[in-house]
Amino acid sequence: MKLLAVGLPVCALLFASCVSRAPAQDETKEPPQTFVINLGEKSEKVVEGETKKLSGTFTDPQVSVTPEPYRLFPYQGVRFQYPRTYSFEADVADAAEKTWTLSGNDVTIMFFAFNSQLTTADFAEKMIDQFGKPNCQIVDANAKLKLGAHELSGTKIKVKVGTHTIMQEIYSIPTAARKTRLFILQDNPDEQGNHSTEARGVLDVLKKSFQVDVK
């Protein structure tokens, strides 16, 4: 009887632990595409790799499948839409420093998650060291960007690579823990230093879709 009295609570705790632990998210996985299936007069959205049952009766329907223009980035408590044509790269082998890179023609979106505190100014200095101080200029040490319900603060730098100019906007994402989440928009600006056409389109999408969990 004593064995049972001691063993039952232990088993209960182990069971509760197994039930409450959610499966780990595979952060190396590229977000799936979403498709719109038009079947006669009915339209349904289907996520790549998922099975969906369509209700109703159809007789010789006209069928078309159209990809949605955006994928949804879902990692580290941050969600935002980005063009589905962008390449996807994840470097998450080091749990203390995770990086995701989404690349288009003129625009690259980078997202960093660190298990330590780092300011946007500190990160900008690392970029300046990488490219060389003669090639870099801090153009805005108090940059602001409104994405969704959040106004992000950061640092904006201009980098000369040969005859080419790139602009990096480095923004800090709110987090409650002693961690760092950085959102970086890298653009090939026009001759006047304004955002490229591609960047303007991406920013329009980000401003509508950007969501953050403070954790």
Each residue of 16-66: pLDDT tens digit? Answer: 444 445 567 899 999 999 999 888 778 888 898 888 777 777 777 788 889
Q: Which residue has better confidence, 179 or 43?
A: 179
Encoded amino acid at 166, one letter: I
Is residue 124 within a helix (H) or strand (E), and if so which, with residue range?
A: helix 120-131
Positions of E strands within 16-125? 34-39, 42-47, 63-67, 70-73, 78-83, 87-91, 97-103, 107-114
Query: Which residues sit opposite 168 in a β-bridge?
Result: 157, 186
* Contact by Cβ (8 Å): 102, 112: no
| pLDDT of 134 over the 80 cut | yes
Which of the four pLDDT bands, split at 50, 70 and 90, describes residue 10? very low
- What is the β-pairing status of strands 78-83 and 70-73? antiparallel
| pLDDT of 177 over the 60 cut | yes
Domain limits, CATH 3.40.1000.10, in the chain: 69-215
> Is the CATH number of domain 69-215 3.40.1000.10?
yes
